[in-house]
Amino acid sequence: MFKTFGQFLFLLLGSLLLAVFQFSFFSALPLWGQYLYPGIIVVVFILFFVDLLPALYFILAFGFFLDILSFQFFGVYSLVLASSALIANFVLKNFLTNRSLYSLLAVMFLFIFSYNILLVMANFILLNGSFKLGDISFWLSLGGQFFWGGLSAVLFFSPLIFWFKKFKPFFLEKKQLV
């Protein structure tokens, strides 16, 4: 019981700290530092190294705190993060054959791209705003997020493989699409 309570408390405190740092500290950094979104990076790492269900638990807590801190409609971040995780998990399970660095980079870039596209679409639908795909700030933000996501994937891939110790060589099996 104490183990699950400790995990739950760690999940809540970790997601709260990441959300607060994302909104208050990283967004105030100059130049490319403002595009560092640590919560998105953590979600992709949980999705890639653990599984979809723990990633969805983290998204529920992290999205809740993002929704509280933001000026968006309540639930937008949770919905967009969960949708992006489902898209990335589908590609990870059905089209990527192993858990290598290029697979992590592909999942990271796909998650970041789908997160940004879905967030722009949600803003367009809910706020009756402009569709920002033609705006240069959207593409700069996307490029900055790609940079930080790729850098974190390259830096943390080997230590996380060593820490989890669950990835072993395997033979490819024919499987059905999930």
| pLDDT tens digits for range 28-43 | 667 777 777 888 999 9
User: Is residue 84 in a domain?
Assistant: yes
User: Is residue 77 in a domain?
Assistant: yes
Q: So what's the pLDDT on residue 85? A: 94
User: Is residue 93 in a domain?
Assistant: yes
Give the CATH number, domain containing residue 11: 1.10.1760
User: Is residue 131 in a domain?
Assistant: yes
User: Is residue 150 in a domain?
Assistant: yes
- Taking the model in full, what pTM does it have? 0.82
Tell me if 91 sits within 8 A of 48, measured CB to CB. no
Alpha carbons within 13 angstroms on the beta-carbon side of residue 44 total 32
The DSSP-derived string for 48-108 is HHT-HHHHHHHHHHHHHHHHHHSSSPTTHHHHHHHHHHHHHHHHHHHT--S-SHHHHHHHH
Q: Which amino acid is at 161?
A: I
Q: At 87, is the pLDDT very low, low, confident or very high (cuts 50, 70, 90)?
A: very high
Q: 111 lies in which domain range? A: 2-164
User: Is residue 178 in a domain?
Assistant: no
User: Is residue 176 in a domain?
Assistant: no
Q: What is the mean predicted confidence (pLDDT) over 58-82?
A: 88
Q: So what's the pLDDT on residue 12? A: 85
Total structural domains within the chain: 1
Helix (H, G, I), strand (E, B) or coil at 177: coil
Helix (H, G, I), strand (E, B) or coil at 178: coil
